[in-house]
A and B are shown apart, each in its own frame.
Chain A
Amino acid sequence: MTSACHTVEPDAISGATHRRRIPIAYWLLLPGMAWLLLFFVVPFYSLIATSLYDPQGGVDSGYEMTWHVANYAHAIRDYAGPFARSLLYGGVATVLCLLLGYPLAYAIAFKAGKWRNLMLVMVIAPFFTSFLIRTLAWQLILADQGAIVGFLKWLHILSADGRLLATPVAVVAGLTYNFLPFMVLPLYAALEKIDPSLIEAAGDLYASPVRGFLKITLPLSKAGVVAGTLLTFIPAAGDYINAQLLGNTQTRMLGNVIQDLFANVGDYPAAGALSMSLMFLIVGMVMYYIQKVSTDELI
């Protein structure tokens, strides 16, 4: 901004044009950029630094910055289980969200008629309650004395002393429930844009409903599938609330470990290294995924 003053030339006219050079768009960007700088770039930098501290230090005695890259190898080796579970539970929940969410989004977009807005509100309705409260409610739904467990026992799917709470099933169910709207909304947005006459045209051109769906509807909704799976997988893989409230010690995800290391154990370097590892892994997977699915077919 000071450069505008430095470039004032003897020629008054060109000086005036120079002063007007900062377009209004940049001023509009300023608050957002300042926010990101303060609450994303600075913490991100500090997290990288934390992950490279000397692990000999402690919360009370302070840490020394020693570029201790070995933190990463140690952390990943010690916590390979939670690491794998994060990806597995997140992945399974994403697939379940897609299987549940696609028919729902399709119905809202094409079949709901006058109920469309109501159904969309119902998809968003869970957000009116806290994430934590909703997950706690699942403790009741899946409780040992609850109706679902009772029904599954009656069907002999669960053994007499079997339970759902504190199992991987409960964690994945919670994740699926909590992130379903993030799958449905982008899918709906993509499906809603499809001209229904395209589906009629496919039928007119000898495509059975199933073929028409596979050849026309599904490819045209690909952008929604990509956006939905990303919006579901990324937060689901990093989640720790569901594993905390619905799981047990054997279902701990990486989020639980990081939270524990930061808050209880006080091993900042390991927690930082795990955070960075998970982040880089997810970014890498997402980039590979986008490149794989979207070559030129995303419209």
Chain B
Amino acid sequence: MNVFKSTILTAACIGVLAVAGGNVVRADEADVFKIGAVLPFSGPYGIIGKGMKQGAELAIEMRGSKVLGKPIEVTWEDSETKPQPSVQKATRLISSGAQMIFGAASSASTVALQGITEQRKIPLLVTISADDKITQANGYRYTFRTSNTLGMEIRMAIEFAKVRGLKKIYGVAADYAVTRDGMDSFSAAAKEAGIEIVDVDYPALGNRDYSIIIDKISKTDADGVALIVTGSDGVTFLKQAGQAGLGKSKVLFGPVLQDEVLAAAVGPDAIGAASGVRYHYSVDNPANKEFVEAYRAKFNEWPDSFAGEAFDGMSWFLDVIDGTKSWDREKWVDAFAGSVRENSVEGRKEMRACDHQALQVGLWGVVEKGEAPYPALKMKITNVFQPEALFPDCKE
């Protein structure tokens, strides 16, 4: 084969691949609306995937399993709580005709998904990952986050420290980029508020023994401990702190320290721990009541934060798509940016056009003993912070 022929053949192959791929925005009406869900069903965040799946399933079911008059088909894939499998599976789903991607849970996986969804021009619905960098001004056109950012949760933690009158705080954050940034923000805001940061420790992510750190904290005169850890790290810390009686002399709190799922894993030692709460079934509004009732009827359990956020995000996005009456993904993206959801299960939400981050209230709560039919340990919502106090203006 001569050079000319091989060049023509290569160009033809590239052309075919470009057309076959998702780079061309499709506006054709399809027989089904395909959603590709990449959620953690295994790995450190394996427990999150179940709630997200159930919440999204219910959102779809409650709208008759249809959008744009066509049946919705969801393919569930396990992200394994790792970026690489997340990208591989999302790529496969997009190649199979997914109109949107839903996921992931860990911020690292979500950031990895953003690469592929931006490249293929597929909307990415994020309902749990909290890294502030996921939604940034003029950042990712196809990414929409309907849930909290870590930044707003840090601001809630500071407000809590001020309300509780804490004067000296010991900080513990997982040795991980997002949580280190979070602790830096917390420390800076604490200093502004006149709160002294006694010391900060950065144990490894997935650390298994906090006993020495707990011993160090107990010997300081700090009156509060800010814990920027979550998942099994938070559970391990609170279990071991409980055995040493740390909670009796210090206020234990963190932006994402506890919810009902994690409190159940800690046991009674979780009582009194304060935390930001992404969603809560006790939020008093008609939309939430309807959701909680339907969720309990279908799954025979209270919806957790992951289920509530997934339900809310999925319902919102599908409503927006229906509103466009179009199969053009660019129109969905344009419509979602700047849209307002008055009847969210968490109250009013507004999708900020500049960074595709939903402005919303922030919930803060404390773990307390629950009575049937509630879980044995439940979050009592103690503070509701308004969006103006939690979200800084969009910056370039």
Do A and B form a real pair?
no
